[in-house]
Structure 1
Amino acid sequence: MVRGAKAGDGPGYTLEAIAVRISHDITEARKREDLPAYTRTVVTVLPWQRMLHIRVEGFDTVPARATSRAVITTLFDLVSTYNIIPLDSVELPLFTQHIVLVDSFGQPFAAIVGAGAGEAEPVMQ
């Protein structure tokens, strides 16, 4: 199992509660300049699909590939800290994240979809 450092179980860890925490973390990342100050993020919860959709706006033009990759990687790593990902093929992760970067016309130019990344915990038998 891969369990994010901020992941948990119970009422305080619904997708909606996680979305609020992620929004706060994104604001903090922007303050630390881990994300460009000119970007805006919209976090949408799709509970029936167990999905967090994060739309990143504010790009006047399509940025350099390094900038796109840095934004996507920063957000993916940040969101992964809230996920619980079983490594068996039976159980689903707590949620899937969709991160989409869009240009000033609302057209996607970069995206990543996945559950998360991290170190696996030992399997208890």
Structure 2
Amino acid sequence: MATARLDSNRAMSAEAHEDQAVVVDFENRWGPINDFPNQDVATAMFRLQEVLAGEQLSSLELSEGLIRIQGTSSDPQAILQRLEQDPMFTEVVFSRATSNTRYYIDLRLATVNFEAYMVRYFPDET
């Protein structure tokens, strides 16, 4: 009796296991595309524009959530502090020597984690 019940339960769950396998296969194939980190470039640029209002920006690079900016300002330290206080940005640092008027700052978008994405989907490449 117990064996018959076990066989019946296995037969009823076979379709669910097949469906589960389809879902796992879909996630494995499309996960790297669906979960690619969204950098929301437009929002980041508008926020930088607000933070840097009145300052001169001479260069901007954005790659994998890392933003590198450089320019001139009468108070580079104030720019760094404003960026540090903005919740959109994290890991805000002077990236190289800064003079009294010239600044070089690296910062990350707080909502973008390319390292975790790479570890999850491309562990052999990290």
Structure with the higher helix share, 1 or 2 = 2
Larger relative contact order (C-alpha < 8 A, sep ≥ 6)? 1
Give the TM-score of the pair, scaled to structure 1: 0.38
Give the TM-score of the pair, scaled to structure 2: 0.37
